[in-house]
Amino acid sequence: MEGGVPEADVSAFRECISLSWKNPYVLRLAFSAGIGGFLFGYDTGVISGALLYIRDDFEAVDRQTWLQEAIVSTALAGAIIGASIGGWINDRFGRKKSILIADTLFLIGSVVMASAINPSILIVGRVFVGLGVGMASMASPLYISEASPTRVRGALVSLNGFLITGGQFLSYLINLAFTNLPGTWRWMLGVAALPALTQILLMLMLPESPRWLFRKGKEEEAKEILRKIYPPQEVEDEIIALKELVEIERKDNSSSDKVNILKLLKTKTVRRGLYAGMGLQIFQQFVGINTVMYYSPTIVQLAGFASNRVALLLSLGIAGINAFGSILSIYFIDKTGRKKLLLFSLCGVVFSLVVLTVVFHQTTTNSPMVSVIETSHFNNTCPDYRTALDAAEWDCMKCLKANPQCGFCSSADSKLLPGACLISNDPTEEQCQKEQRQWYTRGCPSQNGWLALIGLALYILFFSPGMGTVPWVVNSEIYPLRYRGICGGMASTSNWVSNLIVAQSFLSLTDAIGISFTFMIFIFITVAAIIFVIVFVPETKGLPIEEVENMLERRSLNIKFWQRSSDSDQVLTQKNVS
């Protein structure tokens, strides 16, 4: 291209902001498609608060940990299927139709969940929502990436990440708003139908991705859209680059409609892209983010905050920090580059997980003792405590772990003094709270619970700008055009499979080895993620989306991550010369 490739820096962020009045059309495309990310975030956040009240309505859910995990994880199973078929649908029918199908599925799922009369129907609704979220998770960033000018592509795809975290934040506000209404969790889950309906209406008025149209031979339609997206001095160069790319694809006689996995993996550029793209999506989940988002109210209770409302309120703060981190990503992603942002993020996550591990270890090993006198004050002693030979050695944590049907009622004088180990049911909880005591069923009172909140806040603050958004940005730009839909679908599927594994095992793991050792496992995984990013992930900052393929073709492993890859420099130099 004449004039070369503009280097992305802090001015890219300012240019992104200036689009609001220079070219509002581009922002309209990005925001409308980004509602898919909002739905993704809303579902992630809303189920964490709704689960507290679903447990109150359905006794079976309250008594059985696996059923709580199933309510969360069946949506993830649906997302795996949605992401798997989403790649094919994106390439066959287009990005726009994929988003519309995803919204329709989400709309159906929201209605089913809100009207569920038992856990089984609720789970069916979760599957529908999962299908929609899985499809939207890869279609939305792909649409935004293909409809964005090169200079602000990273910032606009990061906007999708901001809307994910914005959805999570709003879900906690909705959770708090409906805590005192009848049918609390039904309102929480049903409200999700509104943004899905909004996106359907907006997307019907927007065009298809210009790059997909070019690939399907609809060049005039694509050119018209590109002229609305790019400045006049850049649009012709972009059209020429797209024509060359499509021509190469036709000569190669290859398309993702005909591609098979073996042929895909034999293509060097695709294989290298999948290493980076799928690896980032897998590590995004295995460093533990969605355990924090799905179960943050539960984690807050484990830190010693007993009230459902207090847990939701504190989780709202966590979600707000998550949204703030996404704003930081929009600013820094085209300034520092994708790779440096990832490494800074992961190093901060390691530090935060160390804090959480230490705090929760202290909390679980120093919980208040169980007092015979306090327990005898009530008439419904926990049967396991009553028959225990070592009852004098029991503390709050041992009471809760002995039997899921037992709870801990704190002392009336101080929650840190010895309390009572009682049968967990509604009458007992009411009796305990009437005497101005705190009732605990998930975690125990602790004087250091606030340190756990600081650890959670630091975790989110470090995770969100880097690992929260960069994997989606990289996956939206790293694959060759002819394979972009199917490779994006494979990467999204790996994300949702990893999400399912972590979400399905988190509560069981905390029951088996304790929450502190669970966070310790995440530490080791995060260290592995740092090594992976250094070795396998290329820098795509400032590269036109059509030139990423050339960079992957020339790229070799580059341990010196603080330097731009020599291969991508080669690509930029060649473009400048031309």
Residues 6+ apart with CB under 8 A from 77: 127, 130, 500
Domains observed in the chain:
12-206+258-361+450-553 (1.20.1250.20), 368-445 (no CATH)
Taking the C-alpha atoms of residue 295 and residue 48, their distance in angstroms, rounded to an integer, is 5
The pLDDT profile of the chain, 578 residues, written as one tens digit per residue, is 333 333 334 444 555 556 556 677 888 888 888 888 888 888 877 887 788 788 878 877 777 777 877 887 788 888 889 988 888 888 888 889 999 999 999 999 999 999 888 888 999 999 999 999 889 888 888 888 888 777 777 777 777 778 888 888 888 788 778 777 777 888 888 888 998 999 999 999 888 988 888 888 888 888 888 888 887 877 888 888 777 777 766 666 544 445 566 767 777 788 888 889 999 999 999 998 877 765 566 666 666 565 666 766 777 777 788 888 888 887 787 778 888 899 999 999 999 999 988 888 887 788 899 999 999 989 889 999 988 888 889 999 899 888 888 999 998 888 889 999 999 888 998 899 888 888 888 778 887 777 878 888 899 899 988 998 889 888 888 887 677 778 888 888 898 888 878 877 777 787 788 778 888 999 999 999 999 999 888 887 777 766 777 777 776 555 554 454 444 444 444 444 44
d(CA 75, CA 509): 20
Spatial CA neighbour of 472 closest among 297, 269, 308, 330: 330
Residues ≥6 apart with Cβ < 8 Å to 353: 288, 455, 459, 519, 520, 522, 523, 526
Beta strands 420-423 and 439-440: pairing type?
A: unpaired
Residues sharing a CB contact under 8 Å with residue 507, sequence separation 6 or more, in sequence order: 65, 68, 69, 295, 298
- Whether the Cβ atoms of residue 230 and residue 6 lie closer than 8 Å to each other: no
Return the closest-CA partner of residue 474 out of 209, 277, 275: 277
- Residue 430 CA, chain-centre distance (Å), reads 37
Residue among 482, 405, 418, 464 at smallest CA distance from 445: 418
Place of tokens 């993704």: 40
Among candidates 103, 61, 293, which has minimal Cα distance to 192?
Answer: 103
For 408, the 3-state DSSP assignment is strand
Cβ atoms of residues 134 and 497 within 8 Å:
no
Look at residue 408 in the predicted model and tell me its pLDDT: 93
Task: Report pLDDT for 336.
Answer: 81
pLDDT in the model for residue 105: 94
The DSSP annotation for 297-323 comes to HHHHHHTT---HHHHHHHHHHHHHHHH
Determine the Cα–Cα distance for residues 511 and 195; give it in Å rounded to an integer: 36
Tokens coding 280: 């980032």
DSSP 73-133: HHHHHHHHHHHHHHHHHHHHH-HHHHHHHHHHHHHHHHHHHHT-SSHHHHHHHHHHHHHHH
Predicted pLDDT of residue 256: 44
Tell me the CB-side half-sphere exposure of residue 310, using CA atoms within 13 A. Answer: 15
- Pair of tokens at residue 319: 């979600």
Whose CA is closest to 353, among 304, 297, 402, 286? 286
What is the token pair recorded at 566? 């020599």
pLDDT value of position 573: 46
Q: How far is CA 513 from the centre of its chain?
A: 25
Alpha-carbon Rg of the chain, whole angstroms? 25
Q: Give CA–CA dist 575/578, Å, rounded.
A: 5
- What pLDDT score does 575 carry? 46
Report the amino acid identity of residue 490.
M
The DSSP secondary-structure symbol of 150 reads G
CB of 321 within 8 A of CB of 461? yes
CB-neighbour burial class of residue 565 (10 A; exposed 0-12, middle 13-18, buried 19+):
buried
* Secondary element (H or E) of residue 185: helix 184-190
